[in-house]
């Protein structure tokens, strides 16, 4: 079945397009609203920390995702996020205290940690094995298109209609995503929980038996949870090359954590720009991601994954350093496009490779653990660079961020073999299908 005729893939793609537009309306509105409201770089840094801290939940979210139906997990995640987003609209309209904004941002991002690994595990179940790379490229490019639309339109709408309208549109986008997911039909691979410790001992009273079963079942579930989490972690550790990728991602995300708030402060401060200018510059990045995704198939066939990651990370680092050289929208946008091409190429190639290598039964926990560990340093980066932003110039900050990102790319010159094939032998017991 071609992707164009794949009903499930089309529904997933369309729902995620709308949801991504909403997320980027939110992403452009939140830092600008906070900075305009408070005029404080410290408040901007706190907002960034609230956005990144929930990534730590991803370390364990994938274990639950493997046990739950993926589609249902995505649906409930979007329903809950729609509720939190609606509360945020009321928060802004009625001028509640700033800490309530941070609380809603924390809640939204925390729930998203369950949605992301579920989405990553559901996608390969919807397409033929031979279409995984092409489908991954389409999702990458389509997501970037939606991000482009949301970012550029968000800049214009922020200036014209304000933050409450953009937050409301984000709420609607979650509901549209729910609607599209309801039409997907697929048999899912889930991890079956088995326990033999919940049997009542002979001669035990009924009440004591209930208490014993409750305690032993709880203990068994904790042990099973830890076993599943360790299984996902051990899977990643089988490949030294994948560990290198993970270490590089940790360093890169540590460095790039404050880019959104730094760029917002740069455009509103030294550039004396508008929300529209910020939207155009950010939009340029997603144009680049689209281009990178469009050529992903060609790149993956001709350029080894190691070289793609090396060139991509160095490119992102150099572009980041270049942001502080210009004070007008056009050159900043050009730099952003080039950075997007690099990011789109390396992210798409890595995503397709992981889908092909990781067994379906443990994709949820593997994606969740890998994603969470890759972003583990993000809150630390936000705290460190957020503090530096108050004391050093933004130009200096761009140079520091870009230098670290480029150095993480150079790590792929290390003589570590490409041993990803070790993951293919992984198996997971206790698997069943749900449809």
From residue 170, how far is each of 18, 44, 113, 153, 287 by CA, in Å? 9, 20, 17, 13, 21
What's the angle, vertex CA 291, arms to CA 323 and CA 251, rounded to 5? 50
- Cα(57)–Cα(112) distance, integer angstroms: 10
Return the minimum-mean-pLDDT range out of 47-56, 191-200, 397-406.
Answer: 191-200
According to DSSP, the residues that pair with 190 across neighbouring strands are: 432
- Cα(231)–Cα(225) distance, integer angstroms: 10
- pTM of the prediction? 0.67
- Judged on CB neighbours under 10 Å (0-12, 13-18, 19+), 196 is exposed
Return all residues near 217 (Cβ < 8 A) that are at least 6 apart. 195, 197, 198
Q: Give 109-163 pLDDT, tens digit per residue.
A: 999 989 988 888 888 888 887 777 777 778 877 887 888 888 888 888 888 888 8
206 pLDDT higher than 80: no
CATH class as words, domain 3-187+227-425: mainly alpha
Q: Give 286-343 pLDDT, tens digit per residue.
A: 888 888 877 766 676 777 778 888 888 999 999 999 999 999 999 999 999 999 998 8
């Amino acid at each position: 079945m071609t992707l164009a005729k794949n009903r499930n893939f089309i529904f997933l793609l369309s729902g995620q397009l709308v949801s991504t537009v909403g997320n980027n309306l939110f992403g452009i509105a939140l830092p600008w609203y906070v900075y305009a409201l408070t005029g404080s770089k410290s408040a901007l840094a706190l907002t960034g920390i609230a956005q990144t801290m929930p990534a730590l939940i991803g370390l364990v979210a994938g274990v639950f995702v493997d046990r739950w139906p993926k589609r249902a997990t995505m649906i409930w995640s979007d329903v809950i996020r729609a509720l939190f987003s609606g509360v945020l609209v009321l928060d802004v309209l009625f001028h509640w205290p700033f800490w309530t904004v941070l609380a809603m941002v924390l809640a939204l991002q925390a729930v998203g940690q369950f949605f992301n690994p579920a989405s990553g595990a559901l996608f390969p179940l919807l397409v033929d094995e031979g279409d995984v790379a092409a489908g991954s490229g389409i999702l990458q490019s389509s997501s970037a298109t939606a991000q482009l639309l949301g970012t550029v339109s968000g800049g214009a709408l922020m200036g014209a209609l304000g933050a409450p309208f953009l937050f409301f549109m984000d709420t609607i986008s979650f509901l549209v995503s729910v609607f599209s997911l309801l039409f997907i039909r697929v048999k899912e691979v889930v991890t079956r929980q088995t326990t033999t410790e919940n049997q009542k001992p002979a001669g035990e009273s009924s009440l004591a038996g209930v208490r014993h079963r409750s305690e032993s079942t709880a203990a068994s579930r904790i042990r099973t949870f830890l076993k599943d989490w360790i299984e996902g972690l051990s899977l990643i550790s089988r490949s030294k090359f994948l560990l290198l990728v993970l270490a590089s991602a940790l360093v890169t995300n540590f460095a790039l954590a404050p880019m959104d708030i730094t760029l917002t402060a740069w455009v509103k401060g030294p550039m004396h720009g508008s929300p529209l200018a910020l939207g155009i510059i950010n939009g340029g990045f997603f144009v680049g991601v689209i281009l990178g995704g469009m050529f992903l198939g060609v790149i993956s066939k001709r350029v080894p994954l190691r070289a793609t990651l090396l060139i991509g990370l160095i490119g992102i680092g150099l572009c980041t350093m270049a942001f502080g050289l210009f004070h007008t929208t056009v050159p900043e946008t050009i730099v952003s496009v080039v950075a997007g091409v690099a990011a789109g190429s390396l992210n798409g190639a890595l995503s397709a490779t992981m889908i092909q290598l990781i067994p379906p039964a443990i994709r949820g926990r593997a994606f969740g653990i890998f994603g969470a560990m890759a972003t583990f340093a993000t809150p630390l980066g936000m705290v460190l660079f957020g503090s530096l932003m108050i004391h050093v110039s933004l130009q200096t900050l761009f140079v520091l961020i870009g230098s670290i990102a480029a150095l993480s790319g150079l790590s792929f010159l290390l003589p570590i073999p490409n041993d990803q094939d070790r993951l293919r032998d992984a198996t997971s017991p206790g698997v069943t299908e749900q449809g």
